Chains A and B, each alone.
Chain A
Amino acid sequence: MKTLILRTASKYMLPLLLVFSVFILLRGHYLPGGGFVGGLMAAIAFVLHAFANGLENTKGLLRIDPAILMPIGLALALLSGIAPVLAVDLPFMSGLWWPDPVPIVGNLGSALFFDIGVYFVVIGVTLTIIFSISESA
């Protein structure tokens, strides 16, 4: 599998795909996309890189254990849900919104942070599964 073409391609593909996945994540509230799809795309980008360059290289690139993304994402999603309760005494999961719109993202609100949490969890889950399987295969 480790052909030169694939290796070279994946080197440039990885950042491109990652940027794309973030783009998909951010625009999710207005156009098709969102945390699930974005996270899956990012995960696929890493898996592709691992196929081309070997698992060890990808892991080195990542620096952190993907498993750590799961609790981070869960905490982020939970915080975005609790924030309205703590900050302004609204019910759990009420939307909080930044008054002015931001480019690409549109209105900035707690829902976005929730989606980012989903994004991290999906990356963490997928990579943990795939990595641990390919290590033991």
Chain B
Amino acid sequence: MEVLLATMIGTLYAAGIYLMLKRSLVKLIIGVILLGNGANLLIFLLGRIAKGSPPVIPDNSKIFLEAYTDPLPQALILTAIVISFGLQAFAIVLVKRVFQVVKTDDIDEMNTTDAQV
């Protein structure tokens, strides 16, 4: 399964970068989101994966009695997911405003700071 997951991560990265290379702003954002998903999965995979052993201490114990999955990557990813929501929301609204102001979605037409004609 690890190999499959690694393939998936590679695919998400490739797809994310491919969309970022496009000239459309909307595609750029979707690319960033895919890339973020890939990064989360990568961290998750590198913390080693295991089934059926969440990092929750059993009811009647004070410490773990059996094997448990690594809680640290999970904490990292949880924050990353929430933060990325904030980032996406801001980015998408920014794109919307940019489109209203400069009337184009083409990144190539935005590489000047001069006022729109």
Interface positions of A (Cβ within 8 A of B): 30-32, 36, 40, 122, 125-126, 129, 133
Contact = CB atoms under 8 A, between A and B. Distances in A.
Contacts of A32: 54, 56
Interface in B60-117: 78, 82, 85-86, 89, 93
Given A31-B56, A32-B54, A133 B78 contact: no
B88 to A, nearest CB: 10
Nearest to B90: A129
Interface of B: 54, 56, 78, 82, 85-86, 89, 93
- Describe B's contact surface by its main secondary structure: helix
A125 to B, nearest CB: 7
B109 to A, nearest CB: 24
Contacts of A31: 56
Contact of A133 (B85, B86, B93): B93
A36 B79 CA distance: 9
Nearest to B97: A136
Contacts, number: 15
- In order of increasing CB-CB distance, the 4 nearest A-B pairs are A129-B89, A36-B82, A31-B56, A36-B78
Given A129-B89, A133-B93, A122 B54 contact: no
Nearest to A129: B89
A7 B85 CA distance: 27
A126 B85 CA distance: 9
Nearest to B82: A36
Contacts of B93: 129, 133
15 contacts: A30-B56, A31-B56, A32-B54, A32-B56, A36-B78, A36-B82, A40-B82, A122-B82, A125-B86, A126-B85, A129-B86, A129-B89, A129-B93, A133-B89, A133-B93
Given A36-B82, A122-B82, 12 more contacts: A30-B56, A31-B56, A32-B54, A36-B78, A40-B82, A125-B86, A126-B85, A129-B86, A129-B89, A129-B93, A133-B89, A133-B93
Nearest to B56: A31
